[in-house]
Amino acid sequence: MTKRVLLAAPRGYCAGVDRAVITVEKALALYGAPVYVRKQIVHNIHVVTSLEAKGAIFVDETDEVPEGKTVVFSAHGVSPMVHQEAAARNLKTIDATCPLVTKVHHEVRRFATEDSEILLIGHHGHEEVEGTAGEAPDKVRIVDGLEGARTIQPTPGKNLVWLSQTTLSVDETMETVAILKERFPDIQAPPSDDICYATQNRQEAIKVIASQADLVIVVGSQNSSNSVRLAEVALEYGAKVSHLIDYAEEIQDHWFTDVETIGVTSGASVPEILVKDVLATLAEHGFRDVQEITAAEETLLFSLPPELRKDMKAAGQV
């Protein structure tokens, strides 16, 4: 039996996650610990615990941050109300929102001024959706999945536009849009695709691998939308089994029964060290032949938040 690993590329950190994590690290170096972070900076347990060890304190809401202290807003974005709450507490804010999420916020504001009703495709309760909807709460209706598209009842007579959370399944989002278009033929599309390039690229890579894989292992946390989608897409495109794990220690021996080919990928908030740990564990079980399958090349980089760059420059750290 030939044991092999098909390793997806691209995988792991996207530009927005890289920017957010570095933002917290630079803030700690510049201002000293503690630096407060509203919500998980990115949805990965390893990243969060690593930053906590360096002096970051994660809170759920701005009122948990002592007055006058520094708070970093997570990559998922926040509503204008959160900015107002921070200002009222005299907090120094550093906004690490992914620029691709910020783009969707801009779209909400623009369409809201045109008196359109916005159907936001996304998951109820997800931080990105809450922040985006918060830009115009009286103009945004959340469409959660295919069933949401079938049952949503927009305000009669309103011009409709659809936008989406950036980390969804590309396929399911297009299915959702198709249902909305069938029900509301005049619904307007966003000026450009909202789904993040990294989410799309990681899904495309696992689609190529899935049909050849007896088992797919996705490294990522359960609260990471794009990681969960990768595990789902693997099954949809032919993988016999897929597992979502945070750490290599979660791999179980019985997974390898009658398995010749294992696909491996990681969500957009996952550091590469965790993938290397998985590959090392697989090698211990005889899966040493690792072939990288590349679906796209990624070169995008985002600059750090301007408020942080300004303070780094003043401190001679640029």
The catalytic residues are 128
Number of H helices and E strands in the chain, helices first, is: 11, 12
Question: With left for phi above 0 and alpha for psi between -120 and 50, is residue 90 left, alpha or beta?
Answer: left
In contact, 265 and 205? CB cutoff 8 Å: yes
Q: Phi first, then psi: what are they for 140, rounded to 5°?
A: -110, 130
- Residues in the chain, total: 318
Residue 22: C-alpha distances to residues 2, 29, 106 (Å) = 41, 10, 24
Distance CA 11, CA 168 (A): 16
Residue 309, Cα to own-chain centre: how many angstroms? 24
First and final C-alpha spacing in the chain: 54
Residues 6+ away with beta carbon under 8 Å from 148: 121, 142, 176
Q: Phi first, then psi: what are they for 189, rounded to 5°?
A: -90, 160
In contact, 118 and 136? CB cutoff 8 Å: yes
Distance CA 245, CA 222 (A): 8
Burial class (CB in 10 A: 0-12, 13-18, 19+), 255: middle
- Residue 292 in 3-state DSSP? strand
